[in-house]
Structure 1
Amino acid sequence: MIRARLRSLLPVLAVCACQSNDGSTSEGGTDSNGPTGTASETAGEPTAGTVDPPPTGGTGDTDDTDDTGEPPTGPYARCGAGIVDSASGEIDAARYKEVAGDWSKEAVSCRLGPTWAELHGDAGNDAPEVWGPAGQTCGGGYLTDGIPVQAGVCPEGGGCYGSVAGQALYVPTAGPGAANPGVDRIQTHAWEQGAISSHPKLLSSPEPFVTRPEYDAAALGQPIAIARSERNWTNDGVAIFANGAVGTGGTATSGSIGAYYQFPPHLEPSAITITSNNEFVLVTLWNTEEIRGELAVLSVRAPTPNAHSWWYHGLFNAGGVRELKFLGTIPLPFATPTSIAAVTTHGWTNPNDAGGKSMHSLSFTGPHKDTMVDTCYTSTEQMVDPANSQPISAFAAGGGLQHLIARKGYAVVASQWEDKVAFVDLAPLLDYFHSMYFGSEASCGETLSQFVWDKAQPGDQVLPQAPADVWPYTFDVAPESARPTVAAVFDVTAPRAVRVGVDKAQAIYGPTNGVDVWKAYAAGDDGVLHVFTPGRLMASWFEVGKGEQATGEPALVATGQICQHPTTMVMHRSLEADHPTFLDVVPEKVDDKTQEVRGSNDGVIVVCRGARALQHVVAWKDKVEVYEEIRDSRMNDPVAVWYSDRADVRTVAEFAGQKLLSYRFGRVKIEDWQEGGCGPQGAEYGPGEDGMGDHEFAGELALPGFPFHVSVANVN
């Protein structure tokens, strides 16, 4: 296999003159229609000085060759080999542009890594078949209609219910188009009355949001990726498409109609993430005019579901997205970003976080009691309803609710083709938003323009982009200090996937009995998992309050072997449901105190396409260990996995098999909040034939194409 590498440390990008949509150039600015670059200093190991970006080569008519002079070959030939000269670090501009826009089935498969056949030939799948319950066909249900009830009793209609639903992305068999844009809405777990089913179910094909006229399904092109928070509720997934569109896909309770943004043609999206509290969407871009990588920032305003969401741009919300406001971009220290993950500090998760108050009780803007003019509250005398409002001082530094606003956060961006992982500090952006909302009555008053703009638009249409001087301000209007900055760059051989720890549960909720550092993960194509600490870039509010937050720079803390050619990685979230063999790495007690680990920081699930397996990995202190591997004779081409919020159900995208496979780990419980109501009170069911197993097969769902991404969230 021939794969070009950039092995020297990529330096800091200098201030650059950037072409705008009208063909003019500007330095370090961004208008509301298209981003431009800015200066950014990158600290890595070692720290680099400011020099020119990676050089580009070719005249636009060069052959698709790498540094050997031969056409790229091997599993990655179509999606990256030959872009970078391994000796000089030079970017082949023609090859760069070709790869950036290629999202055909063959290119998507290439981006997912080598198949079993490419690595092992035609050897069959000798894994055993994982047992799964046959279930029972029931009438009278809605959520379980058409799928087997796998635990409990048949529903009779009404009563308690809930589900986990979202989107599956795939390459349509006949290619993407208006009839089949490659995004379906699916359900992966459901309960109603006494019935439970984790069998995947098709809810709508295509995803209803994608059929809206504002999206123009015929022109979207192939879907690329979709993002949801791995900590907080994100009703609407945010997806990117090959034509440069960013759009949302909904759920039954999100209360939204969709949100949309369109990048200009020279900015080709490659990966997407959303911050923990759904404040911002981050999209990696290949700039085919300047031949450089950029990170786009879009502010999220998601006022629904009403009972669970704030209605302010860039603050905590539950993901019923009304608007995506493009703020601008920052340059990345490499030209070919391929994956991204992000985290922000703990926000509101339930009324206990805010003294028992709901989100609507935390309103800090509204009509003035005397004038009825919208205002930012600085005292109770201004409030129409003091019981459901708060002064801005409550959220400012030292205020009783300051912990509800993220002030720290970061993104990890990787380039598989340039052997780099970069840490991007989001604190400048978070601090700026905090200062605008809570710094003074005057600054907060400026943010009210977001509601003026919204009210002026038709309520049944997807919002167009607001002008640059409507809050939130784009980066060319906001102060330069508001831009995120690149904090560190590390050498990692061909990083295929990245993930970030989103919750150090002990540090937030209890005594710090042996708590480990915050972690970030990068999985290399060579099967090495690199574990970093973000240092000063991340801390919980409780760590800050106790003076226990880290003060150092991002650093590598451990490496360990996992499967080679990993395809996807997600945070584990539920270590306790699996084999307790992770205790071989993590001591059960420290100083006679029971020690708890959390998958949301200390474990990842790795999808191994070429090994036909899922691997469960724990990272603790300086150790990394694969403590469990799941293989199934049905799992022949796994390329992605996501989990269900309401049960430990993991749904795998089976690319070549054109289907989704679901597996249930751990116990499920009848969720019943009504006295004597909706089924066996608190009944629990374990996996396996005897209810005592580690996991079971929950069912499969055929799709009209080749799936490569699954993203779901709680719906109730």
Structure 2
Amino acid sequence: MKTPRLHELLPILGVLACQASDGSSGGTETAGSTGAASETAGEPTGGTANPPTTGTSDTGETGGDTGEAPTGPYARCGAGIVDSVSGEIDAARYEQVAEDWSKEAVSCRLGPTWAELHDGDAANDASEVWGPTGQTCGGGYLTDGIPVQAGVCPEGGGCYGSVSGQAIYVPSAGVGAATPGVDRIQTHAWEQGAISSHPKLLDSPEPYVTRPEYDPASLGQPIAVARSERNWTNDGVAIFAGGAVGTGGTATSGSVGAYYQFPPHLRPSAVAITSNNEFVLVTLWNTAEVRGELAVLSVRAPTPDAHSWWYHGLFNAGGVRELKFLGTVPLPFATPTSIAAVTTHGWTNPNDANGKSMRNVAFTGPHKDTMVDTCFTAEAQMSDPANQQPISAFADGGWLQHLVARKGYALVASQWEDKVAFVDLAPLLDYFHSMYFGSEASCGETLSQFVWDKTQPGDQVLPQAPADVWPFTFDLAPESARPTVAAVFDVPGPRAVRVGLDKSQAIYGPTNGVDVWKAYAAGDDGVLHVFTPGRLMASWFEVGKGEQATGEPAAVATGQICQHPTSLVMHRGLVADHSTFLDIVPEKVDDKTQEIHGMNDGVIVVCRGERALQHVVAWKDAVEVYEEIRDSRMNDPVAVWYSDRADVRTVADFDGRKLLSYRFGWVKIEDWKDGGCGPQGANYGPGEDGTGDHEFSGELAVAGWPFHVSVANVN
């Protein structure tokens, strides 16, 4: 049964509220522009920074227009919140849904199961995807307990690495201190000449979540975990039903965890982290005011030190030390359900900084003569000019300006109010840039972050820094620093969103070669909506060439995907060897090879209702599913994530209580005997003969019902 859709919203008020110290909003300011009101899906529509009118009911179980208890697959998690004609919000139902993250409610939020859509028939007649048996080996560490699927058995020591992170699930034993519903897992590993993409349990529960500072008694059910899809994020950032935001680690993050607790009336629903790990964004249901808000937390992540800056709100590799709550941004709907975010990428390897790592481009440190912490404006102040830079190097026109993002946005969806909103992050990014690099005086104010940190125990999770310690909260910062809502669009039942993270540099002209920046919203009806963010996003090469977009966000395409999607991730490595792919993206235009980019021009989608994993390409005005995977083992897929060191997809099977992994691309056997980690030249392809499209890599049983997976490279 489909939820009644909201066809009439209040006209746009353009109201943004000033932030109160407790995180609630008050006061007004004009919001970013939105289009005129429209009822056409994909057209810009009027929104409101305040929610639709609220109402009450005797039971808290009103059913939209009818007054009956909601029924159908969404009865427990959204049906009846919004009246489909008036747009009125049932306040009692709103609070009830915001607080309910039971196993039944989580399943409801994921949409209808195959059996619910097929009269209770749960049979799976898909064929079984072939997978290698592998060999059981001794002497290894990363491959201990799982089969080695390529190469020779490890002997211990030598070259190694893995991909690991967190799986989130509803614990079958119930949520508690011993069973918080977060485990640390591994999805790919190599050591010496051995490779395995079989999923492996590393720690249950996730060690960070058991720390006393995390107050496990009040965490509640974990909801989601976020990592950047563009840059390395060692620590995943998770949200919990009890209002907590906390990190889960990896073996190389070098951190002890970070934590923040929202007040009881602010209920988290989704989380994202910006491309360079500068900011964590959490969507909130404000049950006191019955409105949706977007919380902004600044990240300070000084480890791993070779790849991270130690400054709040600037590029880092996700070894999170601190999360600082800055405030909230009012959203144009009351019921945000999903979010994705992007900022212009900064450092990707030392070549981006003339061979220097992040720790070699410090712009603060002890003054050479006084030893007082200083923001460097001249070489004469520096004790180590070879590894330090003046703030002018990162200012506009400086040779390292590309390391600091100046453009970015968040795409926020409301499944229950049929809307997606673009939130412009440029005001926040510009404010941070001006504070660090605008002048010696403003940069000096940011040094308070280190003064405060030095007074805290180094082996404990940090408490919240005072508002007047950098970064300043929104009630102390200029109002111009607060992100703004830039555009709102109608999308029927948007279940999942994703945003383009990178694009090709090749420019072949206005009609071929390189496409626009893209953002994606997958509707419950199986329609994938593709937008362009316009002026909200640009790469540094576009800025340098004067080729950045100047228009407003706009719809560019729609296409059919599987029904009832639950999860989207960016495709990363698009494979142009399928006929349907080549139908819309020819290999060459005017004798020039097409420049498509997996982190902009394609997505991976999982659809619970169809038990399908699909690969989708979007190019110009066309959307095409060019590969689909069904497997007799994959009975209830609800989430998917990738491995960034091998072309592996890991799927959370909710009702099956397991994780399933599939490998699509080649993996390389490392030459560990002759030169350490150099390539040996031996590749291992998927399929029985090594030339297939994909193969099954293994499964991992979970002590509950999994619905979220997030992993990252671990060196």
TM superposition score category, shorter chain reference: over 0.9
Deviates further, 170-179 or 432-441: 170-179
Alignment of 1:286 onto 2:259: no
Deviation at 1:61, TM superposition (A): 5.1
Deviates further, 145-154 or 46-55: 46-55
Match of 2:348 in 1: 349
CA distance in 1, matches of 2:436, 2:363: 9
Deviation at 1:679, TM superposition (A): 9.0
SS at match of 2:108: helix
Deviation at 1:651, TM superposition (A): 0.3
Match of 1:630 in 2: 629
Match of 1:227 in 2: 226
SS at match of 2:104: helix
Residues 501-526 of structure 1 deviation map (CA, whole Å, 9 limit, x = unaligned): 00003359999961000000001111
SS at match of 1:39: strand
Deviates further, 64-73 or 109-118: 64-73
CA contact (8 A) 1:577 1:694 kept: no
Match of 2:183 in 1: 184
State how 1:4-23 maps to structure 2 within 5 Å: 4-13=4-13, 15=15
Deviation at 1:212, TM superposition (A): 0.1
Deviation at 1:3, TM superposition (A): 1.8
Match of 1:115 among 113, 116, 137: 113
Q: What is the letter of the counterpart of residue 561 of structure 2?
A: I
CA distance in 1, matches of 2:7, 2:404: 39
Match of 2:41 in 1: none
**Residues 521 and 152 of structure 1: CA distance in aligned 2, closer, same or farther (over 3 Å):** same
Question: CA RMSD, aligned part only?
Answer: 1.9
State how 1:532-547 maps to structure 2 within 5 Å: 532-547=531-546
Q: What is the letter of the counterpart of residue 93 of structure 2?
A: R
State how 1:431-510 maps to structure 2 within 5 Å: 431-506=430-505
**Residues 424 and 687 of structure 1: CA distance in aligned 2, closer, same or farther (over 3 Å):** same
Residues 211-247 of structure 1 deviation map (CA, whole Å, 9 limit, x = unaligned): 0001122221100000000110000000000000000
SS at match of 1:436: helix
SS at match of 1:681: strand
CA distance in 1, matches of 2:577, 2:636: 23
Deviation at 1:672, TM superposition (A): 4.5
Match of 2:703 in 1: 704
Q: What is the letter of the counterpart of residue 248 of structure 2?
A: G
Deviation at 1:295, TM superposition (A): 0.3
Match of 2:25 in 1: 36
SS at match of 2:402: helix
CA distance in 2, matches of 1:468, 1:61: 41
Residues 365-406 of structure 1 deviation map (CA, whole Å, 9 limit, x = unaligned): 000000000000001110000000000000000000101110
CA contact (8 A) 2:526 2:565 kept: yes
CA contact (8 A) 2:158 2:672 kept: no
Match of 2:359 in 1: 360
CA distance in 2, matches of 1:200, 1:507: 37
Deviates further, 466-475 or 576-585: 576-585
CA contact (8 A) 2:19 2:328 kept: no
**Residues 40 and 242 of structure 1: CA distance in aligned 2, closer, same or farther (over 3 Å):** farther
Deviation at 1:534, TM superposition (A): 0.2
CA distance in 2, matches of 1:679, 1:441: 45
Deviation at 1:175, TM superposition (A): 1.7
Alignment of 1:530 onto 2:529: yes
CA distance in 2, matches of 1:623, 1:561: 10
SS at match of 1:430: helix
Match of 2:410 in 1: 411
CA distance in 2, matches of 1:214, 1:612: 40
CA contact (8 A) 1:127 1:633 kept: yes
Deviates further, 65-74 or 695-704: 65-74
Deviation at 1:69, TM superposition (A): 1.7
**Residues 442 and 510 of structure 1: CA distance in aligned 2, closer, same or farther (over 3 Å):** farther
CA distance in 1, matches of 2:71, 2:461: 44
Deviates further, 65-74 or 515-524: 65-74
CA contact (8 A) 2:670 2:679 kept: no
CA contact (8 A) 2:507 2:514 kept: no
CA contact (8 A) 1:532 1:556 kept: yes
SS at match of 2:107: helix
CA distance in 2, matches of 1:408, 1:272: 19
Match of 2:596 in 1: 597
CA distance in 2, matches of 1:578, 1:219: 50
CA contact (8 A) 1:507 1:543 kept: no
Deviation at 1:44, TM superposition (A): 3.0
CA distance in 2, matches of 1:507, 1:427: 25
CA distance in 2, matches of 1:511, 1:645: 32
CA distance in 1, matches of 2:421, 2:230: 22
Q: What is the letter of the counterpart of residue 560 of structure 2?
A: Q
State how 1:51-200 maps to structure 2 within 5 Å: 53-58=51-56, 62-121=60-119, 122-200=121-199
SS at match of 1:214: helix
The TM-score, its normalising length taken from structure 1, stands at 0.96
**Residues 674 and 509 of structure 1: CA distance in aligned 2, closer, same or farther (over 3 Å):** farther
Residues 24-63 of structure 1 deviation map (CA, whole Å, 9 limit, x = unaligned): xxx61232x4342553525333264879641001167544
**Residues 597 and 400 of structure 1: CA distance in aligned 2, closer, same or farther (over 3 Å):** same
Deviation at 1:68, TM superposition (A): 1.4
Q: What is the letter of the counterpart of residue 33 of structure 2?
A: A
CA contact (8 A) 1:140 1:156 kept: yes
Match of 1:23 in 2: none
CA distance in 2, matches of 1:58, 1:621: 46
CA contact (8 A) 1:508 1:540 kept: no
**Residues 75 and 58 of structure 1: CA distance in aligned 2, closer, same or farther (over 3 Å):** same
State how 1:228-307 maps to structure 2 within 5 Å: 228-307=227-306
CA distance in 2, matches of 1:287, 1:133: 49
Residues 185-221 of structure 1 deviation map (CA, whole Å, 9 limit, x = unaligned): 0000000000000000000000000000011222211
SS at match of 2:246: strand
CA distance in 2, matches of 1:41, 1:678: 53
Deviation at 1:677, TM superposition (A): 4.0
CA distance in 1, matches of 2:434, 2:218: 40
CA contact (8 A) 1:285 1:337 kept: yes
State how 1:379-398 maps to structure 2 within 5 Å: 379-398=378-397
CA distance in 1, matches of 2:289, 2:678: 61
CA distance in 2, matches of 1:124, 1:510: 51
**Residues 510 and 690 of structure 1: CA distance in aligned 2, closer, same or farther (over 3 Å):** farther
Match of 2:42 in 1: none
Percent sequence identity over aligned pairs: 84
**Residues 403 and 680 of structure 1: CA distance in aligned 2, closer, same or farther (over 3 Å):** closer
Residues 85-105 of structure 1 deviation map (CA, whole Å, 9 limit, x = unaligned): 001000000000000000000
Gaps of 5+ in 1: 17-26
CA distance in 1, matches of 2:261, 2:30: 25
**Residues 184 and 123 of structure 1: CA distance in aligned 2, closer, same or farther (over 3 Å):** closer
CA distance in 2, matches of 1:511, 1:388: 42
CA distance in 2, matches of 1:344, 1:578: 31
State how 1:660-675 maps to structure 2 within 5 Å: 660-672=659-671, 675=674
Q: What is the letter of the counterpart of residue 596 of structure 2?
A: V
Deviation at 1:596, TM superposition (A): 2.5
SS at match of 1:600: strand
Gaps of 5+ in 2: 38-45
Alignment of 1:309 onto 2:304: no
SS at match of 1:569: strand
SS at match of 2:610: coil
Deviates further, 599-608 or 569-578: 569-578
